[in-house]
Amino acid sequence: MSMKVLVIGAHGKTGERVVRELKKGSHEAVAMIRDPAQRELFDSLGVPTVLGDLEYPIDHAVQGCDAVIFAAGSGSKTGKDKTVLVDHLGAIRSMVAAAVHGAQRFIMLSSINSDPASTSRISHYHRAKGRADEFLRTMNGVMEQSLDWTIVCPGGLTEEAATRAVSTHAGSAGTGNTSRDNLAAALVACLDEPNTIGKEFVLLDGDTPLSNALKSV
């Protein structure tokens, strides 16, 4: 079944790869961008765009979509306030919008060592990601709507080319690296692998073919 998939953070390094990966398959991508100047790239790819900023309501962007891939991040160059506003609050806002508007499938790009009570060197980031993930894991049965969620936690992101060979384990704790190409391939492959629904897992570069790995997370 072809899904209309909103990619939040489409102009980021991983988000753009997610859009390109979606273009290769049967699903329909919609790129959410914050700055109109980012539109040119997606016009050239033939991918529709919608303007949205995670510090504001994004209902208009989610409406009519079947799935959301959340690939946004405030980045390491902004203040820690933006980490809270985007990576924590913006992520939960996206989950609520997806639930309310029936974009039932929600794929969350999280991070290795995300943890609501992190004391790591970048605890502000790991807490923001961990708190958003915790909301997603626990919202079903508490809110009126529910989501079919998957949380993917990559390691240190690299520019290596896709091998489509990975290693996975449950949870978010771990050490290692993940190629952005492999990550984008995994985020998109989750859409068609029902075994990933309701799972949170670490995704590292490894030896197992991606499609096999996702069958057993």
Interface ranges with its own copies (CB under 8 A): 55-57, 79-81, 84-85, 88-89, 92-93, 96, 99-100, 117, 123-124, 127, 131, 135, 138, 142-145
Q: Are 193 and 216 in contact (CB under 8 A)?
A: no
CB-nearer residue toward its own copies: 14 or 118: 118
Q: For residue 69, which phi and psi values (nearest 5 degrees)?
A: -110, 115
Alpha-carbon gap, residue 110 to 63, rounded angstroms: 23
Give just the sign of the alpha carbon dihedral 203, 207, 211, 216.
negative
Torsions phi, psi for 195 (to 5 deg):
-60, -20
CB of 45 to its own copies, least distance (A): 31
**Shortest Å, Cβ 140 to its own copies:** 12
Known active-site residue 56: no
Select 136 or 217, whichever has its Cβ closest to its own copies: 136
**Angle, vertex CA 202, rays to CA 14 and CA 6, nearest 5:** 40
Which of these is catalytic: 42, 70, 106, 125? 125
Q: Which is nearer to its own copies, 144 or 159 (CB)?
A: 144
Name the residue nearer to its own copies (CB basis): 142 or 161: 142
The minimum distance between CB 145 and its own copies, in angstroms, equals 8
* Distance, CA of 152 to CA of 69 (rounded, Å): 11
At 217, is the secondary structure helix, strand, or coil? Answer: coil
Closest approach, Cβ 127 to its own copies, in A, equals 6
Active-site residues: which are they?
125
